[in-house]
């Protein structure tokens, strides 16, 4: 148990900062990139939990022994509203046709890059 405590003692993170309306971020540092990521995600989750909200990663980056994360804390009822229509049905609601031809790249070797 003592080695685990020693590893945790060598990790740190910045304060949570609001990057944009309802978008937050922080940077965590650890002895390993995995430890930095674990500390960063735990700190971000705790921030959202303190507001009694859900947790959703917007963007993250691992560089060396640092982990930077941007995240949102959506209201639990907002998450339920976003899942009201399954993703496959959402395309149908916009007029997507399952038998429509898929645009191909100029060489014809695959889907057009603009789709991604």
Decide if pLDDT at 94 tops 60: no
61 part of a folded domain: yes
More confident residue, 61 or 101: 61
Q: Within 13 A of 56's CA, how many CA atoms are on the CB side?
A: 13
Return the number of other C-beta atoms located less than 10 Å from residue 7's C-beta. 13
47 part of a folded domain: yes
Q: What is the per-residue pLDDT for 48?
A: 97
Q: Within 13 A of 58's CA, how many CA atoms are on the CB side?
A: 17
Q: What is the per-residue pLDDT for 106?
A: 56
112 part of a folded domain: no
- Per DSSP, what are the bridge partners of residue 66? 29, 63
31 part of a folded domain: yes
Give the residue numbers spanning the domain of 48.
7-97
Q: What is the per-residue pLDDT for 69?
A: 96
Q: Count of domains in the chain?
A: 1
Please state, for a pLDDT cut of 90, what percent of the chain lies above it: 53
Return the percent helix, strand and coil in the chain, to nearest 5.
Answer: 35, 25, 35
User: What is the maximum alpha-carbon separation in the chain?
Assistant: 61
Q: What is the per-residue pLDDT for 82?
A: 58
pLDDT in tens, 15-51: 999 999 999 999 999 999 999 999 999 999 999 999 9
- Alpha helices, DSSP H, located in the chain: 2-9, 33-50, 76-82, 87-93
1 part of a folded domain: no
Q: Is 2 helix (H, G, I), strand (E, B) or coil?
A: helix
């Amino acid at each position: 148990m003592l080695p685990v405590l020693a590893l945790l003692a060598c990790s740190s993170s910045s304060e949570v900062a609001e990057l944009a309306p309802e978008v937050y971020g922080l940077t965590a540092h650890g002895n390993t990139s995995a430890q930095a990521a674990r500390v960063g995600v735990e700190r971000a989750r705790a921030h959202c939990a303190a507001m009694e909200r859900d947790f959703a990663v917007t963007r993250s980056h691992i560089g060396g022994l640092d982990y930077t994360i941007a995240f949102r804390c959506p209201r639990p009822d907002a998450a339920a509203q976003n899942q009201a229509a399954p993703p496959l049905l959402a395309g149908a609601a916009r007029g997507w046709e399952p038998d429509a031809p898929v645009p191909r790249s100029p060489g014809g070797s695959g889907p057009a890059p603009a789709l991604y």
